[in-house]
Homo-oligomer: A and B are copies of this chain.
Amino acid sequence: MAPDQVISSIKDAELVAKRRQQMIQGAVSLFKEKGFHRTTTREIARASGFSIGTLYEYIRTKEDVLFLVCDAIYEQVKTRLESVIDWWNPSVATLEQVVDSYFRLMDDMQEEVLIMYQEVKSLKKETKDYVMQKERDMVTMLEKVITTCLPEVMSNQDVALAANNMFVQGQMWAFRRWMLQKQFTLETYISRQTHFLLQALSINAASEEKA
């Protein structure tokens, strides 16, 4: 479960998990405040509650911290999103429910989403790919929800597009909050975006059917 791309000199796996948990917590709050590049490893150590030497017993490089953080965020989003989907009763209402939950999740995790958006690029290719795969997985999950919950048959491309849009619109609530959160409450934002989404989808489907 723990990303073992990151090598630790500590043998006790449980301890590694615990310390990394502390580390992620400390680092996230620092990254929120000042970004990855402006945060020093010493600050991370201090915020995690241990010494710089100890920090480096659990990671190899500063980038490892970023990776751990990004991975943890994705994992959290993914877990929470999965827990909400009721695969057994597919219906438009279910879809609406998922959209609602997802948007609320994004609201909860605004800062974390920002970190992802702005810092993932600093990961080196290998680890970036790993993290992005998780994002792909989530979009795929949304695609499945859409396909399952909507009665109309849609092209794969349209499903993909809708899932992407929905995914980004959720994030948009976080990374454009300076703009949106002046004009919208979370409730109206969810409601109007859901409305748009469903109208676009059903009509789209309907019009495609006729054609």
Q: Residues on A close to B: CB < 8 A? A: 35, 37-38, 114, 117-118, 121-122, 132, 135-136, 139, 157-158, 160-162, 164-165, 168-169, 172, 176, 178-180, 183-184, 188-189, 192-193, 195-197, 199-200, 203-204, 207
Contacts and interface: CB of A to CB of B under 8 A. Distances in A.
Contacts of A121: 35, 114, 118
Contacts of A188: 157
Nearest to A158: B192
Nearest to A180: B164
15 contacts: A35-B122, A37-B37, A117-B117, A118-B118, A157-B183, A157-B192, A161-B189, A164-B172, A165-B193, A168-B168, A168-B176, A195-B204, A199-B199, A199-B204, A200-B200
Contact of A183 (B117, B135, B160, B172): B160
Nearest to A202: B203
Nearest to A128: B178
A118 B178 CA distance: 16
B199 A165 contact: no
Contacts of A165: 165, 169, 172, 193, 196
Given A179-B139, A183-B160, A207 B196 contact: no
A129 to B, nearest CB: 9
Contacts of A184: 157, 161
Contacts of A196: 158, 161-162, 165, 200, 204
Contact of A200 (B122, B135, B160, B199): B199
B199 A136 contact: no
Contact of A169 (B118, B135, B168, B179): B168
B176 A164 contact: yes
B168 A136 contact: no
A160 B118 CA distance: 25
A121 B116 CA distance: 13
Task: Give the residue among A178, A192, A196 with the most B Cβ atoms within 10 A.
Answer: A196
